[in-house]
């Protein structure tokens, strides 16, 4: 038997509190543990204020944890932050450059700090910044600033890249382009620790992830496993031409009465929603075909990480996020 | 020294030169002020006829030059340095550097070097302007002038560092810097050069870092005949003490995040 490859990042029982007003303590991270394997995109997902950024700041050795153990590439970033600077690239949430520094200058300046930097030209091409090399930071678009920020995190040729909320404030096209880029970074052999509060981003990008809420891990796994782990019910929405809707409703109601795979049938306006087991779609289509009923439109209602969050936290995700922003 | 210090210095210097307002105030303001005052204020260009020889042939601008040199130190120390460091903190530049093998302390060091070069250029321009436009003679005791200048830079840059140590934003640092800048002009003798300064202001100024530097340079430049003093011992001690107190305090209080 061979030992499995040691994890790139290993976090055990991390805890971090801050002093609040009048002697109170605010618990930012209560008890967080996870391990990240080589070459994966590992997500830390959770609503604003869940403790995600504090967690990665402790992993990056930028903050002292109260307790817990952290190991990054075999080093302890808490005891010796300098030991991981060469091998861990960090992209922080806020802009971090002088307004008047150009893309090229920033890249070459940061490259000079590392013992074995990446090829600056290659990175500029990879991040689609080669045509903007002479542009000053203040004149870059939001997407370009974000790409430069990622480029700077990669310029030291790191084994691990920590990316914090990297698509916040980007338009949909720029977000998708950034996602493709993160996958390319992973495919080049870099382990990515991705912090995000976007469910869709985590679902699309992460090989594995933890969902954090209130400073603790509430769920861990691959996006598919987490979603499959929910209850086994499925839902299908169908739309028919108005003259056929009543007949279809009758057929489906009959199916629900004696079929094992269909649990409920509900009509709302011109749509009929059918819920049941994993085989519900098959049963519905078969019954309709037998009666020569062809729906105008069929949609399966897919489950997402949002449903996973609701199940584990007992709250809706969106409400929490809005409440945090409002506060 | 960290790898990449040279690149950091050259890049930061290039970016520094892209701020036209800062560059003007740091480099050109002292000489512009010197020449402007020399031509605008009546009598400043006239020979000091009742002064002892050989100074009775020289213009009163000889008293004004040390004040302008002190001003060039104060301008960089109180208007450029605090804003630079507080803005680095505000924009996350210090934090960003903390994630790389380069220590954030290096960028503070780099900017102290850049601003040291700036104050040297500004002062040489002011000296050249005073000599060419008003025929101000070379100093009586260049060593005393240089010592007072260097210690003035040390004390005032330490003050600038302290001002920027806690300021969360560039505008905060700029406000505090300005609050100290105007009294600095007063005690350097910018409004009341040389003998025109009231006794109480001279005594007060002697114990401020920039006032001590201005008086030290005046004594060194004009000598015993004009000032009645050979060596500005008290002023030198004052500047050393200020530096010894302000610099470690600035370093200790400096917030890196």
B134-to-A101, A243, B28, B46, B191 alpha-carbon distances in Å = 40, 102, 18, 9, 18
One domain for residues A54 and A179: yes
User: Hey, which residues 172-201 in chain A have their CB within 8 Å of chain B?
Assistant: none
- Looking at residue A4, what is its pLDDT? 64
Give pLDDT tens digits for A167-199: 887 788 888 888 998 998 899 899 999 999 898
Which DSSP symbol is given to A165? Answer: S
Which residue matches tokens 């689609």?
A128
Q: Is A110 in Cβ contact with B100 (below 8 Å)?
A: yes
Whole-angstrom distance, CA of residue B73 vs CA of residue A179: 50
Range of the domain at A165: 9-223
Return the domain boundaries, chain B: 5-253
Average pLDDT over residues A211-234: 86
A88 strand-pairing partners: A160
Lowest mean pLDDT among A233-242, B127-136, B162-171: A233-242
Helices and strands counted in chain B (H then E): 12, 0
Give pLDDT tens digits for A119-167: 999 999 888 899 999 999 999 988 888 889 989 999 999 999 999 988 8
- Looking at residue A234, what is its pLDDT? 81
The answer to whether residue A94 scores a pLDDT higher than 80 is no
- Looking at residue A107, what is its pLDDT? 96
pLDDT band at B174 (very low <50, low <70, confident <90, very high): very high
The answer to whether residue A319 scores a pLDDT higher than 50 is no
* Residues contacting residue B174 through CB under 8 Å, at least 6 positions apart: B79, B82, B83, B86
Which residue matches tokens 């055990």?
A12
Of A88, A89, A109, the CB nearest to B8: A109
Any chain B CB within 8 A of the CB of A75? no
CB-based contact A30:A15 (threshold 8 Å): yes
Q: Is B93 in Cβ contact with A113 (below 8 Å)?
A: no
Average pLDDT of chain A, as a whole number = 87
The answer to whether residue B28 scores a pLDDT higher than 90 is yes
One domain for residues A105 and A150: yes
Lowest mean pLDDT among A21-25, A58-62, A316-320: A316-320
First to last CA, chain A: 53
Please state the domain count of chain A: 2
A188-to-A39, A111, A176, A181, B245 alpha-carbon distances in Å = 8, 19, 19, 11, 52
One domain for residues A113 and A148: yes
- Looking at residue B1, what is its pLDDT? 54
Distance of CA B121 to the CA centre of its chain: 12
> CA torsion B110→B114→B117→B119, rounded to 10°?
-120
A95 or B20, greater pLDDT: B20
Average pLDDT over residues B136-140: 92
Any chain B CB within 8 A of the CB of A135? no
Considering only alpha carbons, which residue of chain A is nearest residue B89?
A: A96
The answer to whether residue A115 sits within a structural domain is yes
The answer to whether residue A299 scores a pLDDT higher than 60 is yes
One domain for residues A81 and A210: yes
The answer to whether residue A226 scores a pLDDT higher than 90 is no
One domain for residues A82 and A212: yes
The alpha-helical segments, DSSP class H, found in B45-141 are 61-75, 81-91, 93-98, 105-134
- Return the sign of the alpha-carbon dihedral for residues A281, A287, A291, A292: positive
Distance in Å, alpha carbon of A298 to nearest chain B alpha carbon: 50
Distance in Å, alpha carbon of A163 to nearest chain B alpha carbon: 12
Q: Extract the tokens encoding A78.
A: 């808490």
Give pLDDT tens digits for B74-129: 999 999 999 999 999 998 899 999 999 998 999 999 999 999 999 999 999 999 99
Distance in Å, alpha carbon of A76 to nearest chain B alpha carbon: 15
- Residues of A whose CB is below 8 A from B91: 94-98
B22 or A70, greater pLDDT: A70
The answer to whether residue A231 scores a pLDDT higher than 90 is no
- Looking at residue B18, what is its pLDDT? 94
Whole-angstrom distance, CA of residue B226 vs CA of residue B245: 33
- Looking at residue A241, what is its pLDDT? 87
Which residue matches tokens 């409002």?
A326
Domain CATH for A182? 3.40.50.300
One domain for residues A79 and A56: yes
Axis-axis angle for helices B105-134, B61-75 (nearest 10): 160
Question: Which of A98, A135, A138 should one mutate to test binding to chain B, selecting the residue with the greatest count of B CBs within 10 A?
Answer: A98
Average pLDDT of chain B, as a whole number = 92
Considering only alpha carbons, which residue of chain A is nearest residue B256?
A: A62
* Residues contacting residue A146 through CB under 8 Å, at least 6 positions apart: A166, A167, A169, A170, A174, A178
The answer to whether residue A3 scores a pLDDT higher than 70 is no
> CA torsion A189→A194→A199→A204, rounded to 10°?
-10
Q: Extract the tokens encoding A305.
A: 């990480």
Q: Is B14 in Cβ contact with A105 (below 8 Å)?
A: yes
Q: Is B99 in Cβ contact with A90 (below 8 Å)?
A: yes
Which DSSP symbol is given to A4? Answer: P
- Looking at residue B230, what is its pLDDT? 86
Across the A:B interface, residue pairs with CB atoms under 8 Å apart total 69
B199-to-B203, B208, B210 alpha-carbon distances in Å = 6, 15, 17
Which residue matches tokens 């001003």?
B71
Of A96, A108, A152, the CB nearest to B7: A108
- Residues of A whose CB is below 8 A from B98: 62
- Looking at residue A321, what is its pLDDT? 45
- Looking at residue A296, what is its pLDDT? 86
Percent of chain B scoring above 90 in pLDDT: 75
- Looking at residue B121, what is its pLDDT? 96
The answer to whether residue A326 scores a pLDDT higher than 80 is no
Give pLDDT tens digits for A261-283: 888 888 888 888 888 887 888 88
Distance in Å, alpha carbon of A303 to nearest chain B alpha carbon: 38
Give pLDDT tens digits for A105-119: 999 999 999 999 999
The answer to whether residue A320 scores a pLDDT higher than 70 is no
3-state DSSP helix/strand/coil % of chain B, to nearest 5: 75, 0, 25
Any chain B CB within 8 A of the CB of A158? no
Whole-angstrom distance, CA of residue A307 vs CA of residue A201: 15
The complex's ipTM works out to 0.86
Domain CATH for A242? 3.30.70.980
Average pLDDT over residues A209-218: 92
One domain for residues A127 and A195: yes
Which DSSP symbol is given to B121? Answer: H
Question: Which of B2, B17, B100 should one mutate to test binding to chain A, selecting the residue with the greatest count of A CBs within 10 A?
Answer: B100
CB-based contact A107:B25 (threshold 8 Å): no
A160 strand-pairing partners: A88, A191
């Amino acid at each position: 038997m061979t030992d499995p490859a040691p994890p790139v990042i290993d976090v055990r029982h991390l805890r971090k509190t801050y002093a609040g007003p009048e002697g109170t303590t605010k618990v930012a991270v209560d008890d967080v543990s996870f391990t990240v394997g080589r070459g994966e995109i590992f997500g830390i997902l959770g609503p604003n204020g869940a403790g995600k950024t504090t967690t990665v700041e402790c992993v990056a050795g930028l903050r002292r944890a109260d307790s817990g153990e952290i190991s990054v590439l075999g080093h302890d970033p808490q005891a010796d932050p300098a030991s991981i600077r060469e091998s861990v690239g960090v992209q922080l949430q806020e802009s971090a450059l002088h307004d008047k520094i150009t893309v090229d200058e920033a890249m070459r300046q940061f490259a000079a700090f590392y013992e074995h930097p990446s090829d600056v030209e290659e990175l500029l091409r990879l991040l689609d910044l080669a045509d903007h090399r002479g542009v000053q930071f203040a004149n870059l678009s939001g997407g370009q600033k974000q790409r430069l920020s990622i480029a700077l995190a990669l310029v030291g040729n790191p084994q691990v890249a920590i990316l914090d909320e990297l698509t916040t404030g980007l338009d949909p096209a720029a977000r998708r382009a950034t996602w493709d880029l993160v996958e390319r970074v992973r495919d080049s052999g870099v382990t990515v620790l991705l912090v995000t509060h976007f469910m869709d981003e985590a679902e699309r990008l992460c090989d594995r992830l933890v969902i954090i809420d209130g400073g603790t891990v509430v769920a861990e796994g691959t996006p598919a496993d987490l979603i499959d782990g929910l209850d086994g019910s499925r839902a299908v929405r169908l739309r028919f031409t108005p003259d056929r809707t009543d007949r279809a409703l009758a057929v489906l109601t009959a199916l629900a009465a004696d079929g094992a795979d269909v649990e409920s049938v509900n009509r709302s306006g011109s749509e009929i929603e059918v819920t049941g087991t994993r085989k519900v779609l098959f049963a519905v289509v078969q019954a309709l075909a037998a009666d020569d009923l062809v729906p105008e439109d069929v949609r399966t209602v897919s489950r997402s990480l949002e449903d996973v969050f609701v199940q584990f936290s007992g709250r809706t995700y969106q409400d929490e996020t809005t409440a945090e922003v409002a506060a | 020294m960290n790898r990449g210090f040279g690149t950091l210095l050259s890049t930061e210097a290039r970016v520094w030169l892209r701020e036209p307002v800062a560059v003007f105030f740091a480099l050109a303001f002292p000489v512009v002020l010197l020449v402007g005052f020399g031509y605008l204020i009546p009598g400043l260009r006239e020979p000091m006829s009742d002064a002892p020889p050989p100074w009775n042939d020289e213009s009163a601008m000889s008293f004004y030059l040390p004040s302008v040199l002190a001003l060039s130190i104060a301008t960089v120390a109180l208007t450029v340095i605090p804003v630079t460091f507080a803005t680095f903190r505000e924009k996350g530049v210090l934090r960003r550097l903390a994630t790389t093998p380069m220590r954030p302390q290096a960028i503070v060091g780099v900017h102290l070097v850049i601003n040291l070069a700036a104050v040297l250029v500004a002062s040489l321009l002011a000296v050249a302007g005073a000599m060419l436009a008003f025929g101000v003679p070379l100093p009586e005791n260049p060593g005393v002038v240089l010592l007072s200048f260097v210690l003035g830079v040390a004390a005032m840059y330490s003050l600038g560092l302290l001002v920027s140590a806690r300021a969360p934003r560039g505008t905060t640092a700029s406000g505090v810097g300005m609050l100290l800048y105007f009294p600095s002009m007063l005690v350097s003798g910018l409004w009341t050069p040389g003998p025109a300064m009231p006794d109480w202001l001279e005594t007060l100024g002697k114990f401020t870092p920039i006032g001590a530097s201005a008086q030290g340079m005046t004594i060194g430049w004009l000598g015993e005949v004009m000032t009645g003093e050979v060596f500005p011992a008290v002023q030198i001690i004052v500047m050393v003490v200020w530096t010894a107190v302000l610099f470690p305090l600035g370093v200790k209080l400096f917030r890196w995040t």
